[in-house]
Amino acid sequence: MNANLADDALYRIDMMQVSASDDPSPCLGLGLAAAPPFDAGAREALKRIARQHEPVPPGSRLHEAGEPFTAIHAVRSGAVKTVRRDASGEERIVAFHLPGEFFGLSAIADGHYATSAVTLTTTAVCSLPGQHLFRLACEHAGLQRQLMRLLSGAIRTEQGQYAALAGHNAEVRLAFVLDQLRARMNHPAHAGATLRLPMTRAELGSSVGLAAETTSRLFHRFTDRGLIEARGRRITFLDPLALHHLGAPASAAEASAAAARAADHLPVVDSTCS
Amino acid sequence: MNANLADDALYRIDMMQVSASDDPSPCLGLGLAAAPPFDAGAREALKRIARQHEPVPPGSRLHEAGEPFTAIHAVRSGAVKTVRRDASGEERIVAFHLPGEFFGLSAIADGHYATSAVTLTTTAVCSLPGQHLFRLACEHAGLQRQLMRLLSGAIRTEQGQYAALAGHNAEVRLAFVLDQLRARMNHPAHAGATLRLPMTRAELGSSVGLAAETTSRLFHRFTDRGLIEARGRRITFLDPLALHHLGAPASAAEASAAAARAADHLPVVDSTCS
DNA sequence: CGGGCCGTTGACTAGATTCAAACGCGGTGG
DNA sequence: CCACCGCGTTTGAATCTAGTCAACGGCCCG
């Protein structure tokens, strides 16, 4: 069926991204998402300023909200959560970060980290000191471009999460985040293999605004329907496609025929003010 | 009281930001948030590539999700909403954009707009074509830096919205968004002046995942408590401080004494790999 | 003057949180 | 090797919040 083909293509892309990010030092690829037009010089220079950290135990705090910005970080192995403490003292999870993904990007704006970063499992990260990175970006256009893409991609991801959260019920929200995790954890779309979640039910729920109990109940429901099989943190995706479609309402619909529209329907008053 | 002083300072900053963004062409200041270390050359060059568009009527679609990326946009006057259409065909509001604010930033990542942008009122925008902007950023370090800050700031804003949405009830969510709007619309913190919201109840609610009816009921409740006074889109903030505190649980708590911590508690394995 | 959109209000319902208690599992120490 | 302890998870029951459906009123614009 047509829908199946489209879905397969989607998942293949996911897998490529993740397998590419198996690179032990994502800092050197800078997120690599799309085009990697890196001249060798830029990559070499990145290598010089990148700091490779050795693994730290679960629960380690990598940076705290409010601390002055020093560097952006990427996960080499393991998993990290970024959290915000709200006025009532509760800790709310902003995002999870898996191998190959960057965090701490929101600190560039005003020179202070907006979130705290905590490791969920034994985790190794690498970091790119801001000062050096920005200097380098001045010299290498490709690097600058890729850095912009990285930041822009983070905005897009946040927007997606936000849209997923707003106006969808618990079931869709959890399906969405589980599907996301599966895709990002280098897990094939076809049924079968098992994988170990790095976070608790409470954390998983908190990341989409659900109570731990609700999350547990939904796990049960998904199991009943044959979508997944879960024992503790071990989860098996029995029907990843169904799970994906369940969470799909939260994803943006593809704009099909938007190409035809020209971009100049805004009247230009003063285009090249001398 | 101490709390009052702190709040006053907060609001004063808000006002300064907005009054500064009264600049008819925010593109030339590039968001201006923090430090503006713009050499005159950069500003002059920005002026050359910036396009100033004349006002368009409400409901105009500025760009569609899926269209190829051409430029980033900023609001000069009026208001814009960015929306996503989800799989069930429903339109979900991602954000509102008021004068001085940029939108379309998430399109840089993969060269396609992730959202559609629609004007809420008669609105004038200006735009910075991506190609020219990136070329310029290569030549002017200050501009590059400011562009990064702009993108990073957008990430932070999204994270804040996200945290506000997750795990807070309708009352807090609406108070949060109202307080945000008041602050961004150049509206003084002290009680009094009236301002005209550019969006409907349904849009306001949708932006924080609420039904239009719920939004209306909350307006009523806030009015009963003497926080606001609303007739249609005209809203008067009778007790902005109380409203701010009501929505505050959604804001990140200030990390008070985070300065003491050093940033090098991560063991460095390979800092300058030759 | 008419019509449509926006806003309001009420009643009902479904869904998610909360409180409470029990269970399983992995770890540690005896 | 086994007993014990603690955390994370599960399950149940009650509560309540917010969504939905429906109808009405009002405002603005044509």
Give the model's pLDDT for residue B272: 38
Characterise A255 by phi-psi region: left (phi > 0), alpha (psi -120 to 50), beta (else): beta
Kind plus residue range of the DSSP H or E element containing A239: none
**Closest nucleotide to A217 by C1' from CA:** D10
Rounded Cα–Cα distance for residues A2 and A184 (Å): 24
Give the CA A1 to C1' C12 distance in Å.
Answer: 42
Give the per-residue pLDDT at B36. 60
B216 touches strand C (CB under 7 A): yes
All domains in chain B, ordered by first residue = 24-165 (2.60.120.10), 170-250 (1.10.10.10)
pLDDT at position A167, please? Answer: 84
The confidence score (pLDDT) of residue A18 equals 37
Mean pLDDT of A38-45: 79
Q: What's the gap between Cα B158 and its chain centre?
A: 9
At residue A33, the pLDDT reads 56
- SS3 category, A186: coil
Q: Provide, in whole angstroms, the distance separating residue B243's CA from nucleotide C3's C1'.
A: 38
B235 in contact with nucleic chain C (CB within 7 A): no
Q: Is the CB of residue B23 inside 7 Å of nucleic acid strand D?
A: no
Q: List the single protein residue with the shortest CA to C1' distance from D26.
A: B232
Query: Chunked in runs of 10, what are the mean pLDDT values of chain B (274 residues)?
Result: 36 33 62 62 87 94 96 96 86 94 96 96 95 92 92 95 91 96 81 86 96 97 95 93 87 53 48 36
What is the least distance, in Å, from the CA of B273 to any CA of chain A? 6
Side-chain-facing half-sphere of B218: CA atoms under 13 Å: 24
CA distances from B16 to A15, A81, B38, B231 (A): 47, 34, 19, 28
Beta-carbon count within 10 A of A198 CB: 22
- Cα dihedral sign, B218-B224-B227-B231: positive
In chain B, residues 203 through 262 whose Cβ sits under 7 angstroms from any atom of nucleic acid strand D = 205, 209-211, 213-214, 232
Separation of B202 CA and C3 C1' (Å): 21
pLDDT at A58: 94
* Closest residue of chain B to A65, computed from CA coordinates: B255
pLDDT band at A80 (very low <50, low <70, confident <90, very high): very high
Q: Is the predicted pLDDT of residue A236 greater than 50, yes or no?
A: yes
Q: How far is the CA of B212 from the C1' of D24 (A)?
A: 16
Closest nucleotide (C1' vs CA) to A199 is D8
What confidence tier does A24 reach under pLDDT thresholds 50, 70, 90?
A: low
